[in-house]
Chain A
């Protein structure tokens, strides 16, 4: 166990972005402020469509050179690359797939570790091709940790949701003062005038739940939907007003909604009255 400290993430892929316009190009596309990478080596963000809905969540990594490395889900890589290149026009940016593999480690003291920019309690990434004795293929362990932490990831879980439903505001994925990017208009309007009634939350469950299963309250009203599950943990999008409900079920399995460590109490307490994310 202790020697296999790196969990291989075969479902994630690194794309290398190279060229003099890389930063300016990404700044116009993603929800977070790329200039933050001058002082930190990781940045989480979404790529939205023009309607303000999520195409994919991305992690950007700086690894000691001018190039940026964009981590995304492998299955959505082709679509994402095509979507990004559509906006390139005459900007100097080249995208190539990196041969480096992606690993997760809980040991953030590692010199090569890039701490997760979403939530500091969620370990770190290591890139490269480390010796096989250090590597565990137990991806399910990573997924279980991720579900416990309440962090949704990848287009399968997030596509077509709104950035605040995916907790982008609480997981450092959205900047509200960076300027224009694709989908910014709706996002800014939601932040300043909207009420966020549904968010992704982690659940404890008593068995595996089908992806897409509806979450029902005690009156059998539909209050949410499961987006990821194993036999003890799920992630689902839930109406915040139903958070305290004792009798949630999905697919016939009992569920208990949990408050993630990074979610402030006021998000759950003021789910009807809070009107602006920019209020303190």
Chain B
């Protein structure tokens, strides 16, 4: 792997120690969502809608409740209705009125797989028998799956009272269009008038699932005094605590939530599905209740991200200067409003320094599961369209696609169409690294092509709490509250070790539960290494300050006369007296005698998250006899700000690239005319397997974020933004055909190549 990491001026940051959670994971000891067991636990299962759209006339659970071994059943009647209220959840907004309807359908079922009732029974068999015995009387309604169909005036309405927001004057009739958004900068009409070349294209993308290997799972135990323990696989246990408390009408302090190890989340585990059901069942049954989804339930009832329609129009001068850009982005929200159309619009043209931009977006409901965040939500969809048009501009203008991007690249001082001015950003550096890479210069074989695309993601900070304890033997315990989905614990220990000049393996990290630490917003928005890292550094510096105070006390000199140098507490200068310098280990041993335990605590709202740009190069080979696209070489280049643990930065680049490759080539939600999902399993929902891919090469670019003590930028999401357009551009050159629809699956590719006389 090529690296552009500058020679580290650090002892620990930038090195590659073994991760603290690694051994338990590879030996199977780590406890994931479904791994905890409690004495007397019941099996919880969910009854789900077989219809895409139906009114629920009645639900009769009496026969099911009378069955042997059935201990509790909950339905819509067990949850109070909620007022319409939007709250942040990751990078998306949720509305409790919709959440309470998504966890258990109320007036209607809005998609196949929509939960209707949950049962708790003494065995899986008894629980399944109970599900079979629940009688639901449906009035089946016409359904609509496609977002363009759903926008039509005569489409079946999901919510009879939905009036499109963001339109003036407000429409008088309800529709499936929840919201219209618009971002403008300059005057696009003027910009297009100046253009020598204008390209206007429409792109279609399909709904794709996050595809985490671990299904949703939780275990809830509600005590007779009303306090509850909830063990769950999640990206944010404080956020889940808040959602559960709200839906159940309980105080948050009554619910202690522990996040298990997490087998992938990618945004999809920021949402509650089973947790309020398990808590309500446990309260009713007076026993712990464990719930684990099947893979089919995961596909039909959770996740995915939006499919959509993206229209892009861009104009450029002969010299490659882009004069205007317009986009229209229509995204599926699923059954309830709240697609990532806003970030999709904001991201669309963020790669470029443009004077004239206009982006309009629509959030459209249809009879699909409610979309959840998926790695840079919305960004990959709009960027696929924009970067594909940029590639076509380069082709038409006869300009190298890297040079065209360099001519227009966003840089420090660029005003983004969505508002802010960028600080120091690394797109130019990434493009230059691409241009200099071995990959970009390597020869291609027959039926092979090379494509390139850029991508951007905002990244966020937010509420974060970290506690760092100096133990009595000088070791340290680090408590963070952002679940570790990509090597976070390793990175936090490394930042603490760097500050404290201790061996990184002397710091044991845990992800604390909601009752053990102050509030933490969830792991999302690529915030955890940035925000929890910032809090860790603050906590470590507090330890140093306290160590100096303890030494001052011991040496009976003023605090100002003690300094921290090279990992030691030392008397500052000759006047401070001759005292033997002390390490943190020495200080830990005397903590009890000098004032008690030494704990560094940081409760912050992390500010100054900086965006990360990336550039991906893809080589593909297209089989003219079958239309099959094989990725033959792939390089992901991205600005990490500072790579704390380069292996996990590379892992994020690789993982995002692989998910993007799946999105580009084979992944899609396939619906039948009956509105039912036809491929709710990993056999026919084709994520790439290891043998499908070459090793994904990585190049880490470092343009430090000045707002973080070590220069960290969030890096987890950007890597899924460029792949679809990079693969599209590559397939264009390999096959001679340009595609405007994802996935570029073999039947579509072969058909288009035949039509173009290329097969």
A and B bind: no
Q: Residues of B at under 8 Å CB distance from A?
A: none
